[in-house]
A and B are shown apart, each in its own frame.
Chain A
Amino acid sequence: MAERVRVKALTPPGHVRAPWYLRGKEGVIERPLGAFRNPEQLAYGLPAEEKPLFRVRFLMRDIWGEAAENPDDTLDAEIYAHWLEKVDHHAP
Chain B
Amino acid sequence: MPHDHHDHDHFHHEGMSPSGHPYRADNDGPLTYWQRMEIAVRELLVEKGLLTPSEIAAQIEAMEARSPANGAAVVARAWVDPAFKARLLADASAASREMGFDIGPLHLIAVENTAQTHNLIVCTLCSCYPRNLLGLPPDWYKTREYRSRAVREPRAVLREFGLDLPDDVTVRVHDSTADMRYIVLPSRPEGTEGLDEAELAILVTRDSMIGTGLPRQP
Contacts and interface: CB of A to CB of B under 8 A. Distances in A.
Given A53-B179, A55-B180, A72 B170 contact: yes
A24 interface: no
A22 to B, nearest CB: 8
A78 B180 contact: yes
Interface stretch (B35-43, B147-155, B192-200, B207-215): B147-155
Given A36-B179, A53-B179, A69-B152, A75 B170 contact: no
A73 B151 contact: no
A49 B171 CA distance: 35
Contacts of A33: 107, 178-180
Interface of B: 107, 109, 124-125, 151-156, 167, 170-180
B172 A80 contact: no
Contact of A19 (B124, B156, B172): B124
A17 B173 contact: no
11 contacts: A19-B177, A21-B124, A33-B107, A33-B180, A63-B151, A69-B156, A73-B171, A74-B170, A76-B172, A76-B175, A80-B178
Interface of A: 17-19, 21, 33, 36, 39, 53, 55, 63-64, 69-70, 72-80
Given A21-B152, A64-B152, 18 more contacts: A17-B125, A17-B177, A18-B177, A19-B124, A19-B177, A33-B107, A39-B178, A69-B154, A69-B156, A73-B171, A74-B171, A74-B172, A75-B173, A75-B174, A78-B175, A78-B178, A78-B179, A80-B178
